[in-house]
Structure 1
Amino acid sequence: MFSNIQAVLFDLDGTLIDSAPDLGAAVDKMRVDRGLSSLPFSSYRPMAGAGARGMIDVAFGLTPEHPDFEALREEFFANYEQRMTQNTYAFDGVPELIENLLLLGLPWGVVTNKSTRFTNPLTRAMPLFTSAGAIVSGDTTAHAKPHPEPLFEAARRLAIDPSRCLYVGDDERDIVAGLAAGMGTVAATYGYLGHKADPAKWGAHSIINSPGALLQLLARA
């Protein structure tokens, strides 16, 4: 299915790391600070991949069009910045996946819509990312996913032709971006799938239910 793959790129939240506990706690603190009841973590987890937009919608039922949204988003960012590594971990199987990619001689990198403000301190705090050859954030280029430019930037940093890269993500915008960049695409279903998400309709070249399944795909390439 995937021929001559020379590098693997990943989305961050929901694909490599489980940051939902810290994202959920950051926004739930906003509810508690306002005298509202705390919501169960299970309410936040499915929307963790949508970042501030998803968290604020769950906590307060507000969308970006609401006049209070921007102030709430900044408060959420400040809360998250203070705790973003407290309960964030690599998904089971991810460290082994990265180790095996390196053994196979495949460079790897990250392309996330998370802003540099959060991506850099988070990845520096986690040993997993010391071997990453490229880390591209949502504000690294002029465009964020689903635009392909962040993926092109990661490929440039790895000095690999985009057509020889594989992109793995847990959101439809990841697959849209990967396809637009001419990369092989893999949808990861073990992360955060929103209530209405249907990865089978995203158009990905393949779907995996665990990090280790990616190695099986590469072995068959």
Structure 2
Amino acid sequence: MMRGVRAVLFDLDGTLLDSAPDLAAAADQLRVRGGLPSLPLNQYRAHAGAGARGMLRVAFDIGPEHASFDQHKAAFFSLYERSLTERTVAFDGVDAMLAALNASGLAWGVVTNKAQRFALPLTGAMPMFNGAAAIVCGDTTPHAKPHPEPVLEAARRVGFAPADCIYVGDDLRDIQAGKAAGMRTVAACYGYLGPDADVDTWGADAKVNSPLELLKLLDLP
């Protein structure tokens, strides 16, 4: 059980939102336009946490070092921007969890590597984010996770010291950022864990297998 927590900060994709269907649809549309056969969602899902890099790796087997990567990334972003709210939903239990945080008086916010171009329209379209005390995006500060600065910026915005906050995420970078910021960390094991993820080696202070398990850690009803 985590004592003395005054604010809870969350990663977005893979922790609060299941955005894989919209990310995969954009990448797969680009793949089909290139004359390749469509791939099923389950081939994309585990890589959704890596954003464009992960989606283009699945769709075209290319990385940032490839000559056409930037061109493909720009096209992917354009397609995704047009449809980022079509299939994206909160994970089961997230609405109830956030409602419990609101009712308890605990502050909460979001720290994502997703750029403002995508994160702000997405969260703005979903009423559950009305209670967020902060939404820090990948380009809000000069650094992205695993650098601690975005997490520290969120702590400043919610008005509490890092030691009074916990950070919840489904990626090693989340745990690294939270620990570097001086926060306790929680690994969301229901998220977009990649095929090589070994959560036990991340060094998180706790693990949860569903959003509602977080309430037990916080001793909330």
TM-score, with normalisation over the residues of structure 2? Answer: 0.98
Instruction: Could you list the structure 1 runs, at least 4 aligned residues long, displaced by more than 2 angstroms after superposition.
Output: none
Match of 2:128 in 1: 128
User: Which whole-Å CA distance do the structure 2 matches of 1:53 and 1:165 have between them?
Assistant: 30
> Equivalent residues in 2 for 1:161-200 (5 A)?
161-200=161-200
> Equivalent residues in 2 for 1:124-163 (5 A)?
124-163=124-163
Structure 2 residue identity aligned to 1:205: D
Residue 197 (structure 2) pairs with residue 216 (structure 1): no
Match of 2:36 in 1: 36
Match of 1:48 in 2: 48
Shift of 1:2: 2.1
> Equivalent residues in 2 for 1:17-36 (5 A)?
17-36=17-36
User: Which whole-Å CA distance do the structure 2 matches of 1:56 and 1:38 have between them?
Assistant: 13
User: Which whole-Å CA distance do the structure 2 matches of 1:140 and 1:89 have between them?
Assistant: 24
> Equivalent residues in 2 for 1:6-25 (5 A)?
6-25=6-25
Shift of 1:17: 0.3
String of CA shifts for 1:130-159, please: whole Å, max 9, x gaps. 110000000000110000000110011111
User: Which whole-Å CA distance do the structure 2 matches of 1:142 and 1:27 have between them?
Assistant: 27
Instruction: Give the aligned CA root-mean-square deviation in angstroms.
Output: 0.8
Residue 96 (structure 2) pairs with residue 99 (structure 1): no
SS of aligned partner of 1:204: coil
User: Which whole-Å CA distance do the structure 2 matches of 1:192 and 1:152 have between them?
Assistant: 24
Identity of aligned residues (%): 60
User: Which whole-Å CA distance do the structure 1 matches of 2:92 and 2:34 have between them?
Assistant: 35
Residue 89 (structure 2) pairs with residue 89 (structure 1): yes
User: Which whole-Å CA distance do the structure 1 matches of 2:145 and 2:45 have between them?
Assistant: 21
User: Which whole-Å CA distance do the structure 1 matches of 2:181 and 2:130 have between them?
Assistant: 26
User: Which whole-Å CA distance do the structure 2 matches of 1:213 and 1:3 have between them?
Assistant: 15
Shift of 1:3: 2.1
Match of 1:73 in 2: 73
Match of 1:118 in 2: 118
Structure 2 residue identity aligned to 1:211: P
SS of aligned partner of 1:168: strand
SS of aligned partner of 1:219: coil
User: Which whole-Å CA distance do the structure 1 matches of 2:173 and 2:4 have between them?
Assistant: 24
User: Which whole-Å CA distance do the structure 2 matches of 1:86 and 1:171 have between them?
Assistant: 24
| Matched length | 220
Shift of 1:103: 1.2
Q: Which runs of 5+ in 1 are unaligned?
A: none
Shift of 1:18: 0.3
Structure 2 residue identity aligned to 1:72: H
User: Which whole-Å CA distance do the structure 2 matches of 1:201 and 1:143 have between them?
Assistant: 24
User: Which whole-Å CA distance do the structure 2 matches of 1:99 and 1:37 have between them?
Assistant: 42
Shift of 1:99: 0.4
Shift of 1:67: 1.0
User: Which whole-Å CA distance do the structure 2 matches of 1:52 and 1:10 have between them?
Assistant: 20
Structure 1 residue identity aligned to 2:7: A
Shift of 1:211: 0.3
